[in-house]
Amino acid sequence: MHKFVCSFTILWFVLTVVISASDERVRKTKDALQESIRIKRNELKQKEIRKKEIQLHLQDSYLAEQDVFMKIKALSEDIETLQQQIVQTNEKQDHTKRVLARQAKEVLLLKNELREHEKNAQQRVRSIYKILKRKETQSLSFLRHDFSFKNINFVEFILGHEVATMQDFYKKKQSLQDLLGPYQQRKNTQEQLYQKAAENKQLLEQKQQEHQRLLVNIQQDRQIYYRYLEELQQSMGIVADELRYWEEQKQLFLSFQNTQGLLPLKGKLKSPIKARIIQPFRAKKKNINKILYHGITLEAPKKSVIHAIAPGKVVFADTLPGYLQLIIVDHGKESFSVYGKLSRLKVSVGEFVAENTPVGFTSQEPVTSKFRAYFEIRYKGKSVDPLRWLKPGTYKRRGQRRR
């Protein structure tokens, strides 16, 4: 326990020496605060510029997306039109094929009929020729008095009839063949149109796929920009918070330069924590005529936050034997507040704090599982009774009811 007292005494001696050379430190602190503010302002300005650039990129991205959408829509309409043309061409091709097939079949039937008719006509002519050579043919004259197979007019009539019939067949055949030519030409034209439409459709589909890939790339790039913008927004928030922090530190520093210390606030200071006193000021350990505590030990019902009692500058924030985590705040004019037995600190050395600023958390005692903290006020190098500096009735003394 003696070494705890010695370490605390040495700490106060070192702090007294350091704080005594304050003019140069104040100047350096002011310069450092101004430099930090300048850096953060420049950083925030650069991030604002980058944010505007990203927003412009996003606007361009939306315009490009709309343009690609319009092109894809136009390509889709062209593809639909070509698809309808292909369907119509297919229907025309099918119709032309059916007509060609039917007429080709008719031409084939006419060819066969003509061939058969020629064959029969030749047979009839040969038969007539043979009959005319026979004498028996004269005996048929009784059928009609003017009948004679040797009648040239009758023979010519028969031959003319055969020739006329064959010519009629030839004309029908020629007319069908004449029809086959235009239909075949129309079929070839339709096939060319179909092939051209199919090629154009394929080309448009390729362009549509390229535009779809371009659209996907634009959307992916925009998502990247959105993520980057979100990260930039978060970063800007952090920098803005840091800038506010340094500006507040500057204001607190300027206030600290003009501070009158704790003496004008004596009897008006707020408590650092709502708790009860379990170890009063200047308590002595049994059988040892030594002062072990220059402050008071407080006990809270749960883990609580310790607050600074007045504006000041943190001059110590570290572990100290017997006090766990310890914070010392310089309030100027040789007045200090001490917060010990903390489990975690929320401030660091050199930081300026305002009244009621959170500085740490109470620690839990292993044996009792209670949450405790140590609080002390020093004025002109000597510890003073905190209850005389805090508002009356803030803590009750042992054996005294709280007002």
* pLDDT of 133: 64
**pLDDT recorded at residue 143:** 46
pLDDT at residue 282 in the model: 72
Where exactly are the structural domains of the chain? 57-229, 262-389
Asked if 381 and 294 touch (Cβ cutoff 8 Å), the reply is: no
DSSP string, 174-226: HHHHHHHHHHHHHHHHHHHHHHHHHHHHHHHHHHHHHHHHHHHHHHHHHHHHH
Three-class secondary structure of residue 375 per DSSP: strand
Q: How far apart are the first and last CA of the chain?
A: 35
Q: Which amino acid is at 230?
A: E
Task: Report the chain (403 residues): mean pLDDT per 10 consecutive residues.
Answer: 61 63 69 90 92 90 86 82 80 78 76 75 72 55 50 64 74 73 77 81 83 86 89 92 90 86 91 88 56 79 91 91 90 92 92 93 87 92 90 68 44
Domains 57-229 and 262-389 share a fold: no
CATH number for the domain running over 262-389: 2.70.70.10
> How far apart are the C-alpha atoms of 299 and 279, rounded to whole Å?
9
- Of 106, 242, 240, nearest to 175 by C-alpha is 106
For the four alpha carbons of 186, 187, 188 and 190, in that order, the dihedral sign comes to positive
- The answer for residues whose C-beta is within 8 angstroms of residue 147's C-beta and 6 or more apart is 140, 141
- How long is the chain? 403
Give residue for tokens 């600290």: 256
CB count within 10 Å of CB 395 equals 20
Task: Please provide the CATH number assigned to the domain covering 57-229.
Answer: 1.10.287
How confident is the model at residue 23, as a pLDDT? 56
Strand partners, 284: 291
Are residues 304 and 322 in contact, defined by beta-carbon separation less than 8 angstroms?
Answer: no
The answer to whether 1 and 322 are in contact (CB under 8 A) is: yes
